Structure 1
């Protein structure tokens, strides 16, 4: 077995099993952790610094890794890599395999302050109208049109993460109450109201088009009748963004940003939005208040004679 196979089997794979099995993180999140680990151990291998044991990794090597990665990936990706690597080393500290993490106190490149992108309510309406427009023009069959509309309505109506949408089963939905019980990041559970419109679309889909509606059957399916992947949902969204003449860099997560922003715009309490989004910390949700403040300032600058 080569050195790369040893670090993978001895250190990386047990950690990834912990993430997926005990912490119940999504496959997408686990892949992100794996990408960071492969980049780090690949760097150590290329520099001849990997000695077969985590306790041999020094602060100097982690600093060199951060500097080297800045020439390869974005600053945000560097931050994500280091966050994942810190979690990795903390895990093995808890297992008693090393005493301290070489990523403690490491300097990271500054990130530009960037507010979350979102759509206006009119843009969202244009997006959500897309499947019915194609159905009326006989461009797609009814089953596909209602499936596509359901996907878009659930993303915006419930603020799901794309992974949560793909994992949603009929057993998680209470049709009487109009809510879904979601298990999100880190196994954190929350109740998501689906909204009147999304529930009506879901009812029609279930009664007229869904091939199976058992407790464990997925709600949204690919054109081949299989459980959908986040990538499949992203491609579907691109199609309807083009139809609505909206920016093509909008993602399912930016629909989630729009969901949060529109709730706050219309008077929702910040802590309520925190619960609906499944954020562990209020500070994560508070960034949306900055979005609203920015919009207020823009309106002031445009309208006030002394601005």
Structure 2
């Protein structure tokens, strides 16, 4: 039986209950520590004590890992190791941090992918068209329409949608109180179309809209998981003849891009998306500028 990694369980408990990170981040940070220790064991340098890890060993690991890991993956793993050593320092379990002063190659910042407004309309229409063609059940068609309208209409993360209960939606005001990253609550306008979809869905299938009941659920009434929504999105992308690399998060990109294209204030979009930093939201202005430059290039005689 493999020896437990010192302090890793307590670190993961700290992430979950004190820092309240997402399950995705928790898994990635745990994996970062596990893979680092596995590397040290493989080269015979692990001494069952993080105090004894040297900066040279960290750099050796990154050089080795860089041969088969993407640059972004490497950055994420270093973030996990930094968080772990920060925890160890705070708990006075180590005195030195071998990651201090560590520099990594800069990441490219590709513009986020999104659907055009015309493409978005085709996607939103896909579930009902599939039902009318006899290719999708009635319940699934109306539920999937609701899912797409909420993701796009509210700019929700898929995890936020999965965690959304009826009690957190004000139908009269047309808004939802959403729990985002770090358990931070924000108000999201959903738009009249999404609210009408919700009303129709509940009434058509006589659903129990109890305060603690999930807004999107399986036919058996179970709360849906992000993977289920990712899978059904592929079905509707195929039906609408749209790129299959689109994800629920890219519908959020579409929401933000279309808001800014329509003249929305950048800080308002930041608040709607629940971004802690304005710099995170500013990437969408680059999308709009890139589109304007492309339109200029194609249409202007001197471009």
Q: Name the TM-score class by shorter chain.
A: over 0.9
Structure 2: distance between partners of 1:180 and 1:50: 50
Q: Tell whether 2:49 aligns with 1:63.
A: no
The answer as to whether partners of 2:165 and 2:215 remain within 8 angstroms in 1 is: yes
Matches within 5 A, 1:87-102: 87-102=83-98
Shift, 1:224, TM fit:
4.3
Shift, 1:219, TM fit:
1.1
Shift, 1:81, TM fit:
1.2
Structure 1: distance between partners of 2:54 and 2:207: 55
Shift, 1:28, TM fit:
2.5
Shift, 1:114, TM fit:
0.8
Aligned-CA RMSD value: 1.6
Match of 1:2 in 2: 2
Shift, 1:32, TM fit:
2.2
Structure 2: distance between partners of 1:182 and 1:295: 31
Structure 1: distance between partners of 2:278 and 2:196: 32
Deviations 1:237-262 (A, max 9, x none): 11111111111111111111111100
The answer as to whether partners of 1:23 and 1:187 remain within 8 angstroms in 2 is: no
Match of 2:35 in 1: 39
Q: Quick check: 207-216 or 150-159, which moved more?
A: 207-216
Q: Tell whether 2:98 aligns with 1:113.
A: no
- How many residues align? The count is 303
Q: 2:214 is paired with a residue of what secondary structure? A: coil
Gaps of 5+ in 2: none
1:209 aligns with one of 186, 191, 205: 205
Match of 1:294 in 2: 290
The answer as to whether partners of 1:66 and 1:108 remain within 8 angstroms in 2 is: no
Distance 1:100 1:272, change over 3 A: farther
Q: Quick check: 78-87 or 124-133, which moved more?
A: 78-87
Shift, 1:209, TM fit:
2.4
2:229 aligns with one of 230, 233, 256: 233
TM-score normalised according to structure 2 size? 0.95
Match of 1:192 in 2: 188
1:175 aligns with one of 157, 167, 171: 171
Match of 1:18 in 2: 14
Shift, 1:211, TM fit:
4.1
Match of 2:81 in 1: 85
Q: Quick check: 279-288 or 75-84, which moved more?
A: 75-84
TM-score normalised according to structure 1 size? 0.93
The answer as to whether partners of 1:237 and 1:251 remain within 8 angstroms in 2 is: yes
The answer as to whether partners of 1:26 and 1:163 remain within 8 angstroms in 2 is: no
The answer as to whether partners of 1:261 and 1:288 remain within 8 angstroms in 2 is: yes
Gaps of 5+ in 1: none
Distance 1:20 1:273, change over 3 A: same
Shift, 1:276, TM fit:
0.6
Distance 1:268 1:18, change over 3 A: same
Shift, 1:210, TM fit:
6.2
Match of 2:136 in 1: 140
Q: Quick check: 196-205 or 137-146, which moved more?
A: 137-146
